[in-house]
Structure 1
Amino acid sequence: MLNNNLKGKMQNTQKITRLLHLLQNKSFFHLLSANLLTQFLGFGTVVFIAKLISPTEIGQIKILQSYIALFVILAGFGFNTSVLKYCAENISQEQRWGIFNYSVKCSLVTTLCGYLLWFLFDSYKIILSTSQIGSWILIYGLLLPFSVMTNLGMIYLQAVKQVRKMAKAQSIIKLQSFLIIVGSTYFWGIKGFIASTVFAYFIGMIPVFREIGFSFIFYKSFVPRSFLSIAVFSMLGNIVSLIGQYGDIFILDHFCPDKEQIGFYSLASIFLIGAMQVTGTVQSIVAPYFSEHNRDKRWVYSQLIKNQLRMVVLAILVALGIYIFCYYFIPFFYGYNYIITFLYLKILLLKYIVYSSYAVTGVCLVGLGLIKYNIGVVFISTPIGLFLSYLLLQNYGVIGVAYAQFFTAIFIFILQIAVTKFALSKYFRFLK
């Protein structure tokens, strides 16, 4: 009996070792370490500056970041998804440069349109329904072109499987951004945060294009068939998906009078970013491989099941780690006045586990060019999530919004699994 237990433990140890070696070969840890640093920019930075500003200002920053994330998608017009799909396929380097050239040129135009729309949203007080920062909202919108170009460059490196170069660029960007943003916020408060964030995005383009180079400028634009349609569908799907993802913040901004509670809720969601980076890393690693093997039914099914199951286990471990860390960190670092943040965090971590349970299926469909199915899922689930958030907010307050996120994630999980099964069956039947 003892020998059997020992043998079982040895087999489990060998499995874990093989998994770690596999992740290392896929550059998982390089990209994960870089992605963890992204917490220092955007939401994650607030963890370190929360003691420098009030809970209400934390909520304002979260709301601004949620809206700007929506406008980055609009300004990017889905070109990053098309670049990821087509540059990951077995095509010549000349064609890859042509695709990237075309995407950069078009992004300059769509970014300008995105900023004009940002101006209109600010004029009609759609962004931050009540705010004391005034024209600083327009200044914050200036980060759009820098964010779009950086994202496009990162996606290109991901598509051509230059994961280590991508990780190196990310690390440099996030380190310099953290130093600039925290220092500026210390001296000038929320206005310093806004101005320094724009500057950080500007200099953030430098490491990315240093890795890519500028050879693509000298190549003729190349537009594969379905490039624009995939981009448009991706943009629409991502917009609806992001509205669903940040719908809780939009609802709180316009319908919750207690702005301090929004700040506590926002701080809880910031801690969740660390967990989301792990899931995002796995998605970034596996996405190009589904494009590369898009005609191999056995490979797609096998890798989808394996990676999704691994993602569930990893998500549970990550959620437990964040739960234990925050249990001690929140009262120690922020004080017992912030203890309600932990209540929100527990519910949002449950949502994260459910989300991670279908995260790989989404990128699998993207890799196979089946984006329309993902769009269908978000088009169905987003209105339901928004309605549920509003309904529970009115009846239970801010804690009701947190529960709405969890219940919506469960609904999406059921729908996504069913849609993925149908989409893959239809896709490979068509290939035959």
Structure 2
Amino acid sequence: MSKFLSFFVSNLIIKFFMFGSQILVALYLTPKEMGGIKTTQTIVELVVTLSILGLNTAFLREYSISKQEHEKKEIKSFCFNLILYASVLITFFSILMANFSTINIYSILYLTVPFVSLSTLIIYFYQVDDMYLKLSLSQFKVKMISASLIIISTYFFGVIGFLISTVILSIFSFYYLLRPFIRDIKHFKYNKILATRCFNISKYALLSTVLGVITNYTSFYIASGLYQDSNALGYLAFAMNIFLAFEILTSTIQQYFLPKLTKLSDTIKIWEIEFNKLNVKLIMSHLILSVFFYYTFSSLESLSIVKDFKYYDSIYYLKIFIISWGISGFSAYKLIAILSLGRVKYTFIYNIIMLPIVIISSYFFISKYNVDGVVYGKVFISLISCFIIKYCFFLAVKIFK
């Protein structure tokens, strides 16, 4: 538990610092620039997801059940090098496909794809090796340096400074996190048996994650397509950047407990008891935090000094996002339970079901309420997803009984 607390507290500090840096960066950018950055970042996130090939999920499963040390090193090297080659290739084609005359300077962010993709896997390296304290300290240092330099660059050079510093710091972050594992990933040898095992998991994980990213940002894609020149899109983008801290908090908890549950998956009765106890605690914590932050932002919204802030309108969006986050807490941790059992296809089924629901509901709410419809749709989608995840969880666990 002490390892989790150190990991959790350091992440809270990082999120708090990043929260402050987002506000400071926004002071030096226009709402339209914020909207342009966010639109490109959502596309980059999709490209990163494609580059990872679902191998992060396969790695976590295979590494957690592996007993031999040489097998563990081989799994690390295999997943790292495949993601390396895939991310470089996909980045190259993404840049070729990007029309710089229409996407403009924001296309620079595509250069972060290989480094972000590999850093995502490296974080799992720390977790499966139980190096939570070292990971916390490394992430803390990286985020402090990155946030500080991005703020300074944006202050002096505006949006260009933000974009270039983001690329440079993604390289720095990747190298800093990789250092303890350089020996593990040096010798790459293609293992057909390992590849078969990994791809049996990763094919569903990739499809599921791609659908998840598309589903997550569908409403923003629709809004940005319909209201490209709207300042409201910039206010929404700012709120989404702040709200990202809440989503990362959920994923941090998921990432911590996923390998723990995976190790228990051989005995379904023990796994079920432990997960049920854990799930109740996490749901209660989720609800308490949701209520706390909703009233915190409501109080902040009423302060006269805040009303002069350039992105004051973002607070309303943020409050609605937090309502959706509170609702999602009822089902979010069932997804990692499904993954821990190796039943990745059920997360894929969940995303397949959700995609048309998200597209139709997002279009309906945005058509009716303009940009505000993005946050209203988010609440509706969170409610629906709770029932669908519950059903997929039931199917995944039923097989083992």
Answer yes or no: same fold by TM over 0.5.
Answer: yes
> Given the superposition, is the C-alpha separation of residues 44 and 245 from structure 1 closer, same or farther in structure 2, using an over 3 Å criterion?
farther
Give CA-to-partner distance per residue, 1:287-309, whole Å, 9 cap, x none. 00121111211222122222222
Name the counterpart of 2:375: 402
Gaps of 5+ in 1: 1-23
- Equivalent-residue separation in structure 1 for 2:189 and 2:133 (angstroms): 28
Deviation at 1:414, TM superposition (A): 0.2
> Given the superposition, is the C-alpha separation of residues 419 and 176 from structure 1 closer, same or farther in structure 2, using an over 3 Å criterion?
same
Name the counterpart of 2:241: 270
Task: Say yes or no: does 1:100 pair with 2:76.
Answer: yes
Name the counterpart of 2:276: 305
Equivalenced residue count is 397
Deviation at 1:213, TM superposition (A): 3.8
The residue identity in structure 1 corresponding to 2:371 is: V
Name the counterpart of 1:188: 157
- Equivalent-residue separation in structure 2 for 1:28 and 1:139 (angstroms): 37
Matches for 1:1-400 after TM superposition, within 5 Å: 24-34=1-11, 36-37=13-14, 45-123=21-99, 134=104, 136-218=105-187, 220=189, 222=191, 223=194, 225-329=196-300, 332=305, 335=308, 338-400=311-373
Give the structure-1-normalised TM-score: 0.86
- Equivalent-residue separation in structure 2 for 1:141 and 1:415 (angstroms): 34
Give CA-to-partner distance per residue, 1:171-197, whole Å, 9 cap, x none. 122111111111100111111111000
> Given the superposition, is the C-alpha separation of residues 108 and 216 from structure 1 closer, same or farther in structure 2, using an over 3 Å criterion?
closer
> Given the superposition, is the C-alpha separation of residues 119 and 206 from structure 1 closer, same or farther in structure 2, using an over 3 Å criterion?
closer
- Equivalent-residue separation in structure 2 for 1:199 and 1:39 (angstroms): 23
The residue identity in structure 1 corresponding to 2:224 is: D
Deviation at 1:117, TM superposition (A): 3.7
- Equivalent-residue separation in structure 1 for 2:36 and 2:22 (angstroms): 11
The residue identity in structure 2 corresponding to 1:345 is: L
Identity among equivalent positions (%) equals 21
- Equivalent-residue separation in structure 2 for 1:235 and 1:350 (angstroms): 29
Deviation at 1:47, TM superposition (A): 2.4
- Equivalent-residue separation in structure 1 for 2:145 and 2:73 (angstroms): 29
- Equivalent-residue separation in structure 2 for 1:47 and 1:66 (angstroms): 19
- Equivalent-residue separation in structure 2 for 1:27 and 1:161 (angstroms): 10
Deviation at 1:244, TM superposition (A): 0.8
Give the structure-2-normalised TM-score: 0.92
Give CA-to-partner distance per residue, 1:127-159, whole Å, 9 cap, x none. xxx66xx1x233211111111121111112112
- Equivalent-residue separation in structure 1 for 2:348 and 2:236 (angstroms): 28
Cα pair 1:40 1:177 within 8 Å, conserved:
no
Cα pair 2:108 2:163 within 8 Å, conserved:
yes
Cα pair 2:286 2:329 within 8 Å, conserved:
yes
- Equivalent-residue separation in structure 2 for 1:216 and 1:119 (angstroms): 27
> Given the superposition, is the C-alpha separation of residues 180 and 337 from structure 1 closer, same or farther in structure 2, using an over 3 Å criterion?
closer
Give CA-to-partner distance per residue, 1:394-415, whole Å, 9 cap, x none. 1111112211111111111101
> Given the superposition, is the C-alpha separation of residues 287 and 175 from structure 1 closer, same or farther in structure 2, using an over 3 Å criterion?
same
Give CA-to-partner distance per residue, 1:20-74, whole Å, 9 cap, x none. xxxx334234244236525766x87432211111112121222122111111111
- Equivalent-residue separation in structure 2 for 1:120 and 1:40 (angstroms): 35
Deviation at 1:220, TM superposition (A): 4.5
Q: Name the SS for the 1:53 alignment partner.
A: coil
Gaps of 5+ in 2: none
Matches for 1:401-420 after TM superposition, within 5 Å: 401-420=374-393
> Given the superposition, is the C-alpha separation of residues 39 and 73 from structure 1 closer, same or farther in structure 2, using an over 3 Å criterion?
farther
> Given the superposition, is the C-alpha separation of residues 39 and 255 from structure 1 closer, same or farther in structure 2, using an over 3 Å criterion?
farther
- Equivalent-residue separation in structure 1 for 2:129 and 2:213 (angstroms): 26
Q: Name the SS for the 1:50 alignment partner.
A: helix
The residue identity in structure 2 corresponding to 1:68 is: V
Q: Name the SS for the 1:214 alignment partner.
A: helix
- Equivalent-residue separation in structure 1 for 2:358 and 2:318 (angstroms): 18
> Given the superposition, is the C-alpha separation of residues 212 and 112 from structure 1 closer, same or farther in structure 2, using an over 3 Å criterion?
closer
Q: CA RMSD in A?
A: 2.3
- Equivalent-residue separation in structure 2 for 1:178 and 1:294 (angstroms): 39
- Equivalent-residue separation in structure 1 for 2:95 and 2:69 (angstroms): 39
> Given the superposition, is the C-alpha separation of residues 159 and 225 from structure 1 closer, same or farther in structure 2, using an over 3 Å criterion?
farther
